[in-house]
Amino acid sequence: MRLREGKGVRGRGYLENLTGEAPVATWRVPVATWAVALARRAVLLVAIVAGLLAVAASAQTNGQAANYVPSAENLKARQEFQDAKFGMFIHWGTYSVLGDGEWIFHERHLTVHEYERLPHFFDPEKFDAKAWVSLAKAAGMKYITITSRHHDGFAMFDSKVSDWNIVQRTPYGKDPLKMLAEECHRQGIKLFFYYSQLDWHNPDYFPRGQTSWNNGRPDHGDWNAYLDNYMDGQLRELLTNYGAIGGIWFDGMWDKPDADWHLAKTYALIHQLQPAALIIPNHHQTPKPGEDVQTFERDLPGRNTAGFNTNYVSDRLPLESSNTLNGAWGFNIGDSNYKSPEELEEMLVRAAGNNSNLLLNIGPMPNGEIQDEFVTRLHAVGEWVARYGEAIYGTRGGPVAPGDWGVTTQKGDRVYVHVLHWNAPLLALPPFERKIAGAQMLGGGAVEFTQNGNGLVVKVPEAAGKEVDRVVVLSLGK
Ligand code: H79
């Protein structure tokens, strides 16, 4: 009986009790009882191991990397990702030729045969990787996420998996991602690959989903081959041939939300090839095992003004919010709805105050140039962020909930109060747990404040001209 009374029966778990040292008191127990107890232990152990195996197997078939434990490199990469705060999103593909976004295949009801004409016109002779990476840097962006292939399935890189790629189907005949990766490594910018799981071109993307389903493909196809050979094959290329990459930004799963996407297999492949590579899925759902970042399309985390995002916000994963500089992702020749530098700056500040990164998109032109309207605005943001970056880079969301008035960020013992829309001289904030030792404007100038049990009142200087963000730096005392 004594054998069953050990501390491990409850508490820290059966396995420890079963596999742990034999209790010292064993000799007092008659041999027969001892043997029966051992046999029971063995049976129980076998049952537990079998149970664990079954759980693992079902996790595999469910497509969930249920046992995912991020590697140390991965956890470090997550921190660096959060510190980076500001990234450049690039949508560029053969669709850019038509100057009407990246959904023309679907929106114009083109057949595969018709769409296959497009690559013949794609010859970006002005593409200059150095200019692109330099622009990102000048804007204060710390990483780039580029479409390695969009929903048209067209690989913008040298792929051996299929000839539906830029090297084999365009007069250009080169791999721009290779040039971009080399330039990013030279300039110290992390490169992420956007990869569309949705494919409007491959017949094995079958059964088809909600989009571009009637475009001349046969009514049969091998879904498993599409995932395991085609997609994973291309991901293997992206994670092998371009040096260290930041990660993979997935999109398009929402086209077939109920399908088995073999996520466990794909995610394991990525983490095995590059443990530090982050998996960033834009599936608009609650994060699944194996994923490293939660990203929100055209929305701050949890807002869902777009209508297709989830309201759930992870308190574990780094967060990211993607948005467009005008209204389009891929080059749109008629879209002049540019956000002003001030709007973009506010967007970045609001992202940071919501503990999130901002991934800001541009759609380069089919000749490889980036239009002036993007360039001038990005330069303006870059000049601004050079002055205000201390209150953004390396911060996390601050202690005060974001509001219309503004947001807070925090780095160590400094809280940055970003006053965005507040016309009164005094700004009242809720109580801080710690005493405020001092307050000053970022860039200089003392700030008067009073702190008591009701909260903190800060005297904010008037905004100068178009000043977007008045940043009060609070030093937290002991
Ligand atoms: O790459 C850019 C867009 O092309 C792509 N994601 C960004 C980053 C994108 N595609 N669609 N959307 C964004 C919006 C999603 C719309 C949806 Fe639906 C509403 C998905 C599910 C419901 C449209 C309608 C597609 C299926 C039904």
Q: How far is the CA of 411 from the centre of ligand 1 (A)?
A: 35
Question: What's the rounded Cα separation, in Å, for the pair 82 and 60?
Answer: 30
Closest approach atom of ligand 1 to CA 297 = 8
Indicate the average pLDDT of the chain: 89
pLDDT at 213: 87
Percent of the chain with pLDDT over 70: 86
Q: How far is the CA of 150 from the centre of ligand 1 (A)?
A: 12
Give rounded-to-5 percent helix, strand, coil for the chain: 35, 20, 45
**Cβ–ligand 1 contact at 254 (below 6 Å):** yes
Provide the angle, in degrees to the nearest 10, between the axes of the packed helices 263-273 and 31-61.
Answer: 90
The whole-number average pLDDT for the span 7-11 is 27
Question: What's the rounded Cα separation, in Å, for the pair 317 and 295?
Answer: 10
**Cβ–ligand 1 contact at 210 (below 6 Å):** yes
What lies within 8 Å, CB to CB, of 133 at 6+ separation is 144, 180, 183, 184, 186, 187, 189
**Cβ–ligand 1 contact at 251 (below 6 Å):** yes
pLDDT at 42: 52
**Cβ–ligand 1 contact at 308 (below 6 Å):** yes
Q: How far is the CA of 262 from the centre of ligand 1 (A)?
A: 21
**Cβ–ligand 1 contact at 320 (below 6 Å):** no
Q: How far is the CA of 284 from the centre of ligand 1 (A)?
A: 10
Q: How far is the CA of 44 from the centre of ligand 1 (A)?
A: 50
pLDDT confidence of 24, banded at 50, 70, 90? Answer: very low
Question: What's the rounded Cα separation, in Å, for the pair 85 and 261?
Answer: 30
Backbone conformation region of residue 101, classed left if phi is above 0, alpha if psi is from -120 to 50, else beta: left
Residue to probe by mutation, ligand 1, list 146, 193, 198, 308, most atoms within 8 Å of CB = 308
Poorest-pLDDT segment among 212-216, 218-222, 362-366: 212-216
Which residue, by CA, sits nearest to atom 14 of ligand 1?
308
Residue to probe by mutation, ligand 1, list 103, 150, 154, 329, most atoms within 8 Å of CB = 329
Report CA dihedral (260, 251, 104, 86) to the nearest 10 degrees: 180
Residue to probe by mutation, ligand 1, list 254, 295, 296, most atoms within 8 Å of CB = 254
pTM over the 0.95 mark = no
Which residue, by CA, sits nearest to atom 13 of ligand 1?
297
Q: How far is the CA of 295 from the centre of ligand 1 (A)?
A: 14
Which residue, by CA, sits nearest to atom 15 of ligand 1?
308
Provide the angle, in degrees to the nearest 10, between the axes of the packed helices 372-388 and 341-353.
Answer: 50
Residue 9 has pLDDT above 50, yes or no: no
DSSP, collapsed to helix, strand or coil, labels residue 418 as strand
Which residue, by CA, sits nearest to atom 11 of ligand 1?
252
Residues 267 and 214: beta-carbon distance below 8 Å = no
- Read off the pLDDT of residues 58-102 as tens digits, 9 standing for 90 and up: 344 344 467 899 999 999 999 999 999 999 999 999 999 999 999
β-pairing verdict for 294-297 and 319-324 = parallel
**Cβ–ligand 1 contact at 102 (below 6 Å):** yes
